[in-house]
Amino acid sequence: MGMDPLGLRVEFFDPAFEWFHDTTGWEPTQATVDRVAGFGNGVSLGITGWINRKLGSQVNECSSEYQTWEVVGSLMPIGGGARVASISFIRRPRTVFSHWIPDRYIRPLTRRARKPNPSYKEWIPKWFVNSRFNGNYVSPYFHYLTDPSATMKGMTKAGKLSRPLQQILRVPAWIPEAFVMGAAVENAVDDDCGCN
């Protein structure tokens, strides 16, 4: 089992590669290995690069192939994330807007009794709660499952998800995506290998 073109030192990869090599005679060049590893490191936001370094792989992180394809791989989460984040801002057919922070937190008085609102939070900006930054366009069923006050014909409160899960699922899509985009950009410009 001497062949290990990716330098993974993992035995269960070798039989498949040896069969492919024996059947076709193909062996990847160092440039091919670097391109694949760079792309994978970009897509995984640096995780596979860290694993490769820990395993002592034969990937050349300083090669232009590796660095170019790492940037290309880093753009994949950004591109996919832009689509995911658009859920917050673009209304699609048969969707409703589900607020993350309810408007009861920005009303000093209750709606019906016009008494002081115990849920009022002075520190929460009204502009945020009333904007599209505060939620996502979702299906009516998802809105029913994740919004404590949402109702749906024929459904009971017993069918709703737990409160903590509701809050997690209602986080506006742009918030976690901002972290993914930041990690992708950081990974694209980070120089872990010590290249000049």
119-130 pLDDT, tens digit each: 888 888 888 888
pLDDT value for 48: 81
pLDDT value for 20: 66
Domain boundaries, the chain: 11-85+179-189, 91-172
Instruction: Please name the helix (run of DSSP H) or strand (run of DSSP E) that holds residue 68, with its range, or none.
Output: helix 64-85
pLDDT in tens, 127-160: 888 888 888 899 999 999 998 888 888 888 888 8
Beta strands in the chain (DSSP E): 96-99, 135-138
pLDDT in tens, 161-190: 888 898 888 888 877 777 776 666 666 666
Looking up tokens 């002075």, which residue turns up?
Answer: 122
pLDDT value for 11: 46
